Amino acid sequence: MKERLEQIKAEALKQIQNSDALDKLNEIRVSYLGKKGELTAVLKSMKDVAAEERPKVGQMVNETRQEIEAVLAQAKEKMEKAVLEARLQNETIDVTLPAKKNNVGHRHPNTIALEEVERIFVGMGYEVVEGPEVETDYYNFEALNIPADHPAKDEQDTFYINGDFLLRTQTSSTQVHEMEKEKLPIRMIAPGRVFRSDEVDATHSPSFHQVEGLVIDRHITFADLKGTLAEFARELFGEDTKVKFRPHHFNFTEPSAEMDVSCFKCGGKGCRFCKGSGWIEILGCGMVHPNVLSMSGIDPEKYSGFAFGVGLERIALLKYEIDDMRLLYENDIRFLKQF
Ligand SMILES: [Zn+2]
């Protein structure tokens, strides 16, 4: 019996040593230690062993079983380790590979221009105010001294929603809302989107942006207007920038003017950029019309003020020397990421 056990053990160990896969180890376990395995068969044949020998043989069977199990466990551990190592070898991370690119967007040229304008005026003590894009006829026209039958209404090619409501054609309507609050003095700029039924071309779009400014206080004169806007131009286009005011007509201001700045490309000598004139038209402005003041409940005998309006796209186009306004709206990343 002892010899038989020794033989089983030797065979089992030899098979374990020769096996090269985990499932083969499992087969060996079943064939020696399983219910129908060889060791179990030995235990079953115990009935043939003399009664006094049985404990001794039982012990020998158990010892053989334990030895085979220990060797099996060792082999299994070794094999699992080898499998893991092979896997780690195959899945090595190459730290020299380029990292996945993280694309960070940035501000649109319009936004950069707006932040610049806001920075300048906030620095002069102005408040930034926003108003509704859908307006009544009253706020967009009438309260700005443009009565129902005035030809200026036609010029603005307005988008009407119905007889009373329309998409604002100018951010000046925000000024009226502010004046009606009866909190004086007023120093504000109102940036925002405006709408006109213009055909799209290099300098026109049915939707664009304006920044409107308004100052109302006692003793405000045209000198305040000139000083403020000249400082604005110098901050925006450089210290040597000169300004020039040309008489103009707007309904809501009297007197009214258009302001030109000296060409920041040629310094006023005349170049292709300024079409040889040395000047670039930049904004419209004027002293707030007494009618506009009194319609909003402000006494024009006591208060006066000035207002101005500048196209945001115009500033962005000039600052970045972009020659077609449509480029600002096409949202072509290759174009926008240049700024
Ligand atoms: Zn020029």
Q: How far is CA 87 from CA 24, 90, 167, in A?
A: 20, 5, 66
Summarised one tens digit per residue, pLDDT across range 150-201 is 777 766 678 888 878 989 988 988 998 988 888 899 999 999 999 988 888 8
CATH no., domain 109-336? 3.30.930.10
At 291 the pLDDT is 92
Distance between CA atoms of 42 and 194, rounded to whole angstroms? 98
Asked if the model's pLDDT at residue 257 lies above 80, the reply is yes
CB-based contact 155:161 (threshold 8 Å): no
Q: Tell which wins on pLDDT, 43 or 234.
A: 234
Rounded distance from Cα 307 to ligand 1 centre (Å) = 27
90-94, 209-213, 251-255, range with the lowest pLDDT? 90-94
Compute, in angstroms, the gap from residue 59 CA to the centroid of ligand 1: 109
Q: What are the Cα distances from residue 27, in Å, to 15, 37, 65, 307?
A: 10, 10, 15, 94
Are the C-beta atoms of 291 and 145 separated by less than 8 Å? yes
Q: Is 254 annotated as a binding residue?
A: yes
Most confident range, picked from 101-105, 176-180, 257-261: 257-261
pLDDT of 248 over the 90 cut: yes
pLDDT at 48: 78
Mean pLDDT of the chain: 88
Report the separation in Å between the CA atom of 96 and the middle of ligand 1, taken as the mean of its atom positions: 51
Q: How confident is the model over 32-57, as a mean pLDDT?
A: 80
Please, which residues have CB within 8 angstroms of residue 100's CB and are 6 or more apart in sequence?
Answer: none
Tell how far the Cα of 280 is from the centroid of ligand 1, in angstroms.
Answer: 8
- Compute the distance from residue 303 Cα to the ligand 1 centre, in Å: 39
Residue 297 falls in which region: left (phi positive, over 0), alpha (psi -120 to 50) or beta: left
Each domain of the chain, given as residue ranges in start order, spans 2-90, 109-336
pLDDT, residue 154, reads 67
Confidence of residue 280 (pLDDT cuts 50, 70, 90): very high
What's the 267 CA to ligand 1 centre distance in angstroms? 6
What's the 228 CA to ligand 1 centre distance in angstroms?
23
d(C-alpha 217, C-alpha 224), whole Å:
11
**pTM reported for the whole predicted model:** 0.68
Centre of ligand 1 to C-alpha 237, Å, is: 13
What Rg do the C-alpha atoms of the chain give, in angstroms?
45
